[in-house]
Amino acid sequence: MKNEGVKSHRIRSNQGGGLACERPGRGGGAGPGRLPIVLLGAACVLPYVWATPAAAQQDPSEELDFHRAPEAWAMKYFASAMLFTGFGAPEAMEPWESTLSLEVAHLPSIDEEKRRVGFGGSKLEDLNKAPVIVRPRLTVGLPAAFSATFSYAPPLDVFDARAALYAASLNRPLWETESLRLGARVFGQYSHIRGSFTCPHDHWDEPEFEGWCSGPSNDIMRAIVHGVELSASYRLDGIPGIRTDLVVYAGISGQYLDLEFEVDAPRAEGHRDNRRLYTDGYTWAATGGLAYPVTDRIDLSGGFFYTPLSVQRPREERDTETLLHSRVQVSYAF
């Protein structure tokens, strides 16, 4: 079903066989002294550059209802789990000062009822591939209190899947006192995950997949996301029994998700399923947690990520099934 009212940035083939990004509004040049503006645009445009020609539209294609389709819920779930949110309000950094971080996010196991998303919620899918997501982050200070953060996780075969993650953000503190800091981030990311989701590689012939699969599948999920996050960090000062260098943080973000899933599965009927499912729409998310400076150069942060994801299961009313998971990060300032 078509997702009405959403004007998306679609990936399409150009005449030379590459990709073109359809953007509303006028383009414009970037002159000297406009580095933050250039990076702001890059955070939204780079995910489309990172997309490969294989992401061009193929037939047969099916557009899913972003707010109702069970397949769309599964794509939203994993795109949200990789969302490039921060661990507190951005700090002002000296130009070209840098911080290297390692982020680890826990992926909760999805129960069998929620994994039944194929064909409108009638077929079980193998969605519990990886228990964690690990990626590095590099933050570089820029003039005028801006900073830019970049992340790249190379395509490695781990947990019976091959995932590549690319992300970038432009960050800046907006208001600051001795204890409180408010800030904003604009981010963009592209993820490409290949795995046997519809017909699992190691147990496609088990009873739960009987009648659906005649061998392992080779499916691909792609997600292009860009959004804005507002966050606050507060240093716990003057509270008895609490160290004054402990920081509590919270944030809220809104993001646009452009999602697609290419099925490549041998069906029990003897044909190969090569459908392309796609959808797009908007979500919001919230984060919160604690940050602690272990030394002058090393910081440790940990907290939660929450996002409500709407879905309508077969013979049920539309409902919200949330993603709530934990994230930790260790950072080293150069």
269-298 confidence digits (pLDDT tens) = 778 889 999 999 999 999 999 999 999 899
Q: What is the DSSP letter of 118?
A: H
Number of neighbouring beta carbons within 10 Å of residue 237: 13
Strand ranges for the chain from DSSP E: 11-13, 19-21, 61-63, 98-106, 116-117, 123-124, 132-141, 147-158, 161-176, 180-195, 219-235, 247-262, 265-266, 272-273, 276-293, 298-311, 319-333
- 54 inside domain: no
CB 333 within 8 A of CB 97: yes
Q: What's the confidence (pLDDT) of residue 329?
A: 98
Burial (0-12, 13-18, 19+ Cβ within 10 Å), 309: buried
- Domains held by the chain: number: 1
Q: Which of 281, 276, 279, 330 is nearest to 307 (CA)?
A: 281
Strands 276-293 and 61-63 come out as: parallel
Distance CA(113)–CA(74), nearest Å, equals: 12
- How much is the pLDDT for 241? 66
Q: Which domain does 319 fall in, by range?
A: 59-333
Q: How many CB atoms lie within 10 A of CB 132?
A: 12
Mean pLDDT by 10 residues, the chain (334 residues): 42 38 44 54 54 48 95 96 96 95 95 91 90 95 97 88 95 94 98 93 81 90 97 84 82 98 88 93 98 93 97 93 96 95
Domain-located, residue 325: yes
Under a CB-based contact definition with an 8 Å cutoff, are residues 186 and 228 in contact? yes
| 267 is a domain residue | yes
Domain presence at residue 295? yes
For residues 273 and 291, give the distance between their C-alpha atoms in angstroms, rounded to a whole number. 47
Q: Assign residue 273 the CATH number of its domain.
A: 2.40.128
Give which of 101, 188, 172 is closest to 137, Cα–Cα.
101
> Could you tell me if residue 139 is inside a domain?
yes
Is residue 236, in this structure, part of any structural domain at all? yes
Residue 225: per-residue pLDDT: 98
